[in-house]
Amino acid sequence: MHSNMRVASDEDVDVAARDLAVRFAEASRTVARAQAAQARVLADAAGLGMRRVAELVSVSSREAELPVRALAAELGVAANMSDRTVQRRMNDAAVLAESFPATFDAWDAGRVGAGHVAVIMEHGTPLTNPKARAVFEREALARAEGTTPGRLASSLALLAESLQPRKLTERHQEARATRGACVRDIGDGMAEFSTIQPAVLAHAMHDRITQQAQALKKADPFDTRTLDQIRADLVADMVLTTSPTVETGAGMSDGFGGLGAIRAIVNVTVPALALAGVTDEPAELAGRCPIDPATARTLAGHATGWDRVLADPITGCVLAVDRYTPSADMKRFLRARDQHCRFPGCRQPAHRCDRDHTLDYALGGETSTCNLACLCKRHHTLKGETGWTVRQLGGGILEWTSPGGHVYIDKPPPAVHFTPNTDPPPF
């Protein structure tokens, strides 16, 4: 998504909505600048605290923390905030100032918000090489100024992975050993049950209980539970009422485990050479995060069908797929091209979206990929029932116009593409 706003020249625009949007955007930039200024104070406080720690002579680790703790208490009392919260934010501000100075400057100027900053730090901090981190920050900022924090996160996950010195396969083997489950009491007779899983399994689990929750909600119109509440109830029911089998008890190290049991919709894009085992390039859990190629190959081996996506080697735009039945072909094409709802900022996965005719079929719009886009229920309704309009500019690029006359350009996510090679395939 590109958030730079233009104003349509039509005379029938909603002037009040347009002015409100302009004021809100400016107010948001003002908030961002104020938050950055607050973070600057916290970074300065962290620096002062560390200088005072350095002046201490041979003290215990507990005593060494006291100067920083005292400063945090000073700031916290002045601002009616918890000193623990202030100290944590002092540490975050210090890391931002030291490791991501350009991001801090962009925040100062109101070009990015606190959400963008948090995403950049989350994905950039694991990069310990200063040169790699600088490359990451430069590209991350270029992307951040034209999208929402939610969309930015999935984009930066792949960017950070490409700059890691160690292959994902090696790191995944180590990280997988940390999988587990734990419970934490949170008061009021409640507790939090959490589990650490490989990304493919975690997203598949969430997608499956979401589908089941939606089915239960649809089947019983008198059920007053929210989807989140139903999801929680489903997890408890499944864990407490099912028995382990050889397949579920095997685990990923000894067998396919949960991968073979996946019935949810999981879109994985795998580079061809990685699928053949020639390279260690990571695959992508579409719109989410990189996954190790071994897991991707396991999923591919159990796939009931294949969608070969052909992309332009220069632009990366999806050109075609290998299915010829018109309806199925178009759906696969759109799912590969759009990946998520195409309303600016929305990340609802494409498989949960409607295939919307940009120009209504009843008004002569063709049922073709150049007149179709994935829209979630909310934004499909917004397009059809309000003053929001959209038109296709070619190449999957959509131009949205708000009732206030502001114009927003939404481009399809970059597609995985292959460099043309005349050599025969290795498989």
Could you report the per-residue pLDDT of 413-423, keeping only the tens digit for each? 876 444 444 45
**Per-residue pLDDT at 256 exceeds 50:** no
Evaluate whether 152 touches 119 at the Cβ level (below 8 Å).
yes
User: Are 95 and 126 members of one domain?
Assistant: yes
| Residue 358 one-letter amino acid | T
pLDDT, residue 89, reads 94
Q: Is residue 39 part of a domain?
A: yes
CA dist 32 and 111 (Å) reads: 8
Task: For residue 357, give Cα distances in angstroms to 17, 282, 363, 371, 401.
Answer: 26, 34, 10, 6, 16
Name the phi and psi angles at 115, rounded to 5: -65, -45
**Per-residue pLDDT at 392 exceeds 90:** yes
E strands, 139-273, in order: 180-187, 190-196, 268-269
Pick the last residue of a domain from 214, 245, 276. Answer: 245
Q: Please state the length of the chain.
A: 427
Closest by Cα among 338, 318, 328, 358 to 267: 338
User: Are 33 and 161 members of one domain?
Assistant: yes
CA dist 176 and 187 (Å) reads: 31
User: Are 161 and 185 members of one domain?
Assistant: no
C-alpha of 216 from chain center: 27
Location of structure tokens 């080697």: 313
Pick the last residue of a domain from 165, 197, 227. Answer: 165
Q: State the CATH number of the domain containing residue 83.
A: 1.10.10
Pick the last residue of a domain from 213, 245, 277. Answer: 245
Q: Is residue 303 part of a domain?
A: no
User: Are 122 and 190 members of one domain?
Assistant: no
Q: Is residue 302 part of a domain?
A: no
CA dist 142 and 154 (Å) reads: 15
How many domains does the chain divide into? Answer: 3
Q: What is the DSSP string of 357-412?
A: ESS-GGGT--SSGGGEEEE-HHHHHHHHHSS-EEEEEETTEEEEE-TTSEEEEEPP
- Please return the burial class of 243, using the count of CB atoms within 10 Å of its CB with bins 0-12, 13-18 and 19+: exposed
pLDDT, residue 322, reads 42
Q: Is residue 349 part of a domain?
A: yes
| Joined tokens for residue 321 | 């797929």
Domain extent, residue 113, equals 29-165
Task: For residue 91, give Cα distances in angstroms to 41, 82, 174.
Answer: 12, 15, 28
User: Are 157 and 190 members of one domain?
Assistant: no
More confident residue, 40 or 145: 40
Task: Print burial letters for 68-83: b (CB count within 10 Å at least 16), e (below 16).
Answer: beebbeebbeeeeeeb
User: Are 160 and 223 members of one domain?
Assistant: no
User: Are 239 and 128 members of one domain?
Assistant: no
User: Are 404 and 322 members of one domain?
Assistant: yes
CA dist 344 and 409 (Å) reads: 8
CA dist 308 and 320 (Å) reads: 9
Q: Is residue 354 part of a domain?
A: yes
User: Are 91 and 184 members of one domain?
Assistant: no
CA dist 110 and 194 (Å) reads: 36
User: Are 153 and 187 members of one domain?
Assistant: no
pLDDT, residue 320, reads 44
**Per-residue pLDDT at 202 exceeds 60:** yes
- Percent of the chain whose pLDDT exceeds 70: 73
User: Are 156 and 196 members of one domain?
Assistant: no
pLDDT, residue 120, reads 96
User: Are 40 and 159 members of one domain?
Assistant: yes
Q: What is the DSSP string of 91-102?
A: HHHHHHHHH-HH
More confident residue, 362 or 269: 362
More confident residue, 156 or 255: 156
Q: Is residue 210 part of a domain?
A: yes
pLDDT in tens, 28-76: 999 999 999 999 999 999 999 989 888 887 666 667 778 888 899 889 8
| Joined tokens for residue 411 | 């481009």
Rg (the chain; Cα; Å) = 25
Closest by Cα among 367, 371, 400, 397 to 383: 400
Q: Is residue 234 part of a domain?
A: yes
pLDDT, residue 296, reads 62
More confident residue, 254 or 35: 35
Q: Is residue 381 part of a domain?
A: yes
Q: Does the pTM exceed 0.85?
A: no
More confident residue, 316 or 67: 67
CA dist 389 and 366 (Å) reads: 17
